[in-house]
Structure 1
Amino acid sequence: MSAIAANTGAAVEPTAASTPNPSSRGRRGSGVWRAVRGNGKAMAGAVLLLVFIVMAAVPQLFTSVSDPNKRAFDLSLPPSADHILGTTAFGQDVWAQLVWGTRLSLLVAVVAGALASILSVIIGISAAYLGGIPDAVLSLLTDVFLVIPAFPLIIVIAAYAGGGSLTVLIVVLVITGWSYGARQLRAQALSLRRRDFLESARVRGERSSYIIIFEILPTMTSLIAANFLGAALYAVLTQAGLQFLGLGNPSSVSWGTMLYWAQNNEALQTGQAWWVIAPGLCIALLGAAFALLNYAFDEIGNPALRPVPRARRRRQAQEATR
């Protein structure tokens, strides 16, 4: 999460081109697609994320096992044609658990990431636009959550609030994952507060809620998207960590609970390495998908980060040698 925050933390001073107008709003979606399509890392992230989305939506395409928790096979079988990744110490198919576990892992990442981003937008932009005492109070709240050690706080909250509940898990991730985005969005909103198009809206007598939603937010789309990706990455890794520690619901099927049961049954010591490697690799790949996609949204928000075409680099090199 801190790596993503570092990439997107620098607020870019908006230029006149960033002032919203009807034509630019109509092309906003095409700009996002061009940025993703023109960035190899972003395309790799999009493909990885699409694979996981398909696995979560229709797991039946990848496995014929309908109940991954059912103990229907011989214990601790090695990988074979019938069981691609072997079976667990309880007689469950590892591949089936991996496929079905994608749904819960991705659901928590998207929901927690979206809610944390919404909270970041509400607190960060409101603080910057309102100023004065509201800004001081909201900024103090943000700073408090920034300096508190996150993971120990997560463990304490999850343990005492009943971490086995999916709702509690999501709430914990949102509470501890919004402050980075709020700080970034406040910095960017402060640079926009005195722009001409906002002054015009105030002169027209528009309400503060209208100005924030329809004037400020459209100019910060790429930064909000980057914050969502960072929050989702944070949720993926933290969720897996909590479930590995036994603070999730051990009867649920997710990558974190797979690691929990593998560790409890000493999978590596008993020759069941894929029980550990497979969910760990999927967690890493899903996190990489969110991180790689973040490159495209960084480039939309900051043109200085966009790659220079090869022809232009060659021309610049020739001019420098003259």
Structure 2
Amino acid sequence: MLRSRKALAGLVILLVFVATALLAPVVFPGDPMHITATGSLPPSAEHLLGTTAKGQDVLALTAWGARSSLLVGFVAGAASTLIGVVVGLLAAYAGRTTDSLLSLLTNVFLLIPSLPLLVILAAFLPSGIGTVVVVLIITGWAGSARVLRSQALSIRGKDFVAAAVVTGERPSRIMFREILPNMASIVMSGLLACIIGAIGAQAGIEFLGLGDGSTVSWGTNLYWASNDGALLSGAWWVFVPSGACIALVALALALVNYAVDEITNPRLRTPARRRSATDPTPVTAAATGPGAVTETGAAGSTKGTAR
């Protein structure tokens, strides 16, 4: 996977943001919402990304915002994928009544518009990071469950699964030891897609004012930038960094996702460079080494012998 340029670029970008989130308390100690200078200062040597209308350092807010946004994205994405795996495998393997009930539940969550459901749940539940994670898990598992169920149904009819059933293996072992490993690429793609969706959904919820305004995240940074009229006043440095971070993280995860598909799907692999007519063949290249006899020389020596 590391041989893929897309995967390497995505991992490098992602590691930079993870390192930023981990080192934010070291590089920017104290409260990032503390007022440090005059409001609405443009980027300068003292404040590399300028200050907000209240006088807060935008770079500190952006670095600290990575902690909350990445934490919510990875936790909600992993939990949504885990629920989707369990529901999809159970529905595909159990079949009949269990499949019908789980498919009905999945269809209900897929038919409900996600944004209104996010807004309703976030509005009535207590504000906080935990609430945002729960809301994103509730609204994000159904898509993964539907895709994984379809894939599990196709694998269920394979000979190795029938052999495991005949040998008397437990259903849980068949699902998680026989079927699940053959869906690794789809599970990985679903996980990365859920993380991207969770980070974007969290930013959307908080931008609408339904998050906890006392926490620092990329979504709350955009919310306060909107409230302070940064766009109207032309203070682009207040809202561009957080928006660019969300876009870059989504790009990094999308590149890794595409690289996973490229490795697991032969049709997406980059074809090897075709050998041109002027390139020497391996036989010719080996024959032109030190002490080797070329075709012409061999032919000439044969003719000389015949004479």
* TM-score in terms of structure 2 length: 0.86
Which residue type is aligned with residue 21 of structure 2? A
1:72-93 deviation per Cα after TM superposition (whole angstroms, max 9, x unaligned): 3222222110100111111110
Alignment of 1:1-322 (within 5 A): 36-60=1-25, 63-162=27-126, 164-311=127-274
* Structure 1 segments of 4+ aligned residues over 6 angstroms from their partners: none
Whether contact under 8 Å (1:65, 1:96) holds in the other structure is: no
Whether contact under 8 Å (1:223, 1:301) holds in the other structure is: no
1:163-213 deviation per Cα after TM superposition (whole angstroms, max 9, x unaligned): x22111111111111111111111110111121211121122111011111
Which residue type is aligned with residue 73 of structure 1? A
Q: Helix, strand or coil: the match of 1:73?
A: coil
Q: CA RMSD in A?
A: 1.6
1:73-118 deviation per Cα after TM superposition (whole angstroms, max 9, x unaligned): 2222221101001111111100011011101100000000000000
Matched residues in 1 for 2:225 and 2:174: separation?
A: 52
Deviation at 1:148, TM superposition (A): 1.4
Matched residues in 2 for 1:217 and 1:250: separation?
A: 41
Q: How many residues align?
A: 277
1:37-69 deviation per Cα after TM superposition (whole angstroms, max 9, x unaligned): 2332222211111111111111256x4443211
Q: Which runs of 5+ in 2 are unaligned?
A: 278-307
Whether contact under 8 Å (1:298, 1:305) holds in the other structure is: yes
Matched residues in 2 for 1:75 and 1:152: separation?
A: 35
Moved more, 294-303 or 215-224: 294-303
Matched residues in 2 for 1:305 and 1:177: separation?
A: 27
Q: Which residue of 2 aligns with 1:21?
A: none
Which residue type is aligned with residue 153 of structure 1? L
Moved more, 250-259 or 200-209: 200-209
1:190-239 deviation per Cα after TM superposition (whole angstroms, max 9, x unaligned): 11112121112112211101111111111111111110000001001100
Sequence identity (%): 49
Which residue type is aligned with residue 89 of structure 1? A
Q: Which runs of 5+ in 1 are unaligned?
A: 1-35, 316-322
Whether contact under 8 Å (1:229, 1:290) holds in the other structure is: yes
Whether contact under 8 Å (1:117, 1:181) holds in the other structure is: yes
Matched residues in 2 for 1:143 and 1:248: separation?
A: 28
Which residue type is aligned with residue 226 of structure 2? Q
Structure with the greater alpha carbon radius of gyration: 2
Matched residues in 1 for 2:254 and 2:89: separation?
A: 24
Moved more, 83-92 or 303-312: 303-312
Which residue type is aligned with residue 144 of structure 1? V
Matched residues in 1 for 2:58 and 2:252: separation?
A: 23
Moved more, 212-221 or 253-262: 212-221
Matched residues in 1 for 2:73 and 2:274: separation?
A: 40
Moved more, 302-311 or 214-223: 302-311
Moved more, 294-303 or 237-246: 294-303
